[in-house]
Every structure is written in structure tokens, then in C-alpha cells.
Chains A and B, each alone.
Chain A
Amino acid sequence: MSDSDTALVARVIASDDRGAVELLVRRHQSAVRNFMRRLARNDNERANDLAQETFIKMYQGLHSYRGSARFTTWLFRIAYHTFLNDQRGQHASDEFNEDEHGSVADTAADAAAAIDVDRALERLPVRQRAVFDLHYKKGMTHSEIAEALELPLGTIKSDLVRGHEKLKEWLGGGNNEQA
């Protein structure tokens, strides 16, 4: 039987057990890298760098993990903030465009093209991309997402509703302008 995340965390805290760290990384690397790819719009190199940074921060912050939330909730909180910090530092102006006015890709998008769901998701603002990924790909509940992203529950629900509306609009080939 494999160790639970909590048991592995306890081993790291007690004796800096690198074997336990490796098990945690191996267990969650795929989910975190996929999450980062979603946020980074499939920029795989950047996603991998940020995923590595996430796990290093995880290791450094393990002593502060209290076990009150699921380990994955705590881990994705680190991942999300790692992405946001990187975004703020390197692409402040892009982020402004993305969140307030739609991305550069939006303005160039061809509304008539048959855009698949993945591409449509890329056009959502970063917070909505995170909410959609955690809900649909990671199977997290609204409450867990709210805890992971440190946002009110109502914001998560409205992000899902608004995101759905946009996806339907884009995938239905309707009006391409963003609200």
C-alpha cells in the first residue's frame, strides 16, 4: 500500500526524507504540469519551469502545511500563486490586457474557425482557466477551488457560469466579442 500524502509530508518534516519528497513530486507532477500548461497557454517550457518552482516552494513550505486542507488543494494554491507571481514579474502588461480586455489571441481569433474546447479555454482570463482546470480536470469541488485560489465561493461559481457562456458563444460560432 502506498503512503498517503500526509504520511509522506510527515516523513519530510521529521527527517527531511528526500525519498518522500520524490514520491510526492512523482505522484503530482503530471497534474501540476498540466495545470501550468493550461495557465501558460500550452507554453510547455514555461509550464515545466513553473511546475518545478512549485515543487521547490512546496518543499520549502511543508512545515507550514497543517493538514486542514487536502494536500492537493494546498499544492495547487502554491502553483497558482507561482504562476501569478511569474506573470506579474515578466508579463505585467500582457496580464493587464488578458484580464481586462481579452488576450492578444482573442483579437486575432477567427470566429468562423472551428475552435476546439482546449483552444477556447486558452482564451479565458487566467483565473477562469484555473477554475475550469481545477473543476473539470482535477475534479475539485467549488469549495476546494475557493480554498486553493483563496477566492470567495461566489467568485468561483460565477467564473464557471461566465466561462461557460463564453465557451458556448465561441464554440457556437456566434458573436466573438468579449463581454
Chain B
Amino acid sequence: MNKHDSIEAELRSPEPALADEDFSTNVLARLPPRRRRSTARRWTVAGSAALGSVLTLAFAAPLETIVASIAPWDVPPLALATVAVLVIVAIPALFVFYSERADR
């Protein structure tokens, strides 16, 4: 084995695996506190979204009229309006659900 080969072999020798000991614990202890969305913030966001939905329903043109103008031929406007209201109400609920899930 010439000099070049022996250097190459030395360079390629595996490095020692260092035991973790308390290294990971120390790193985790130095991390900033976990992000937490407060309960108050969740309810504020959800409440604002719900209020917006209510105001939209109260002051916009009657939902049935809007739905009727775009409704397919033989679907009752009332059924479409019901679906639309459920979607509008479901959005804030899903938002709150996602926020809580992300806080685990």
C-alpha cells in the first residue's frame, strides 16, 4: 500500500459514534417555549367568523334568491340554501377544530 492509499484509507475510516448522553436534553431545554394558541384567541377567532356569517345572512340579499339565480334546473332553492348555510357555519367550526388540533 503506497502513501496515497494509506492516507485515503485513514480518511475513509468511520468516525466514532458519540453517545448522546444529555446532549439532546440540553438542546430541547434551550428551545423557545412551545407555540400555544390561547383558548380566548380561539373563541375570538371562531366568534368573529360566526358573527360575520350571521351578518352576511342577515343583510345580504335573501340567500334563496341568490341560490335560485344560479341553481341548476330542478334542485329546490331551499335545499341549496340549506347547504350554503351549513357550509358557511361549518367553516369557522373547522377552523377552530384545526387550531385545537395543531395545539396538541
> Which A residues form the contact surface with B (CB < 8 A)?
14-16, 18, 21-22, 25-26, 29-31, 33-34, 48, 51-52, 55-56, 59-60, 116-117, 132, 136-137, 164, 167-168, 171-172
Contacts and interface: CB of A to CB of B under 8 A. Distances in A.
A145 B12 CA distance: 16
A117 B30 contact: no
Contacts of B70: none
Contacts, number: 65
Nearest to B30: A56
A117 B102 contact: no
Contacts of B31: 18, 21, 56, 59
Contact of B27 (A34, A55, A136): A55
Task: Specify the main secondary structure of chain A where it touches its partner.
Answer: helix
B7 interface: yes
B18 A171 contact: no
Interface in B1-59: 3-4, 7, 10-12, 14-18, 20, 23-24, 26-28, 30-32, 34-35
Contacts of A16: 34-35
8 closest cross-chain pairs (CB), A and B = A117-B10, A136-B11, A30-B18, A25-B24, A55-B27, A137-B15, A34-B15, A26-B24
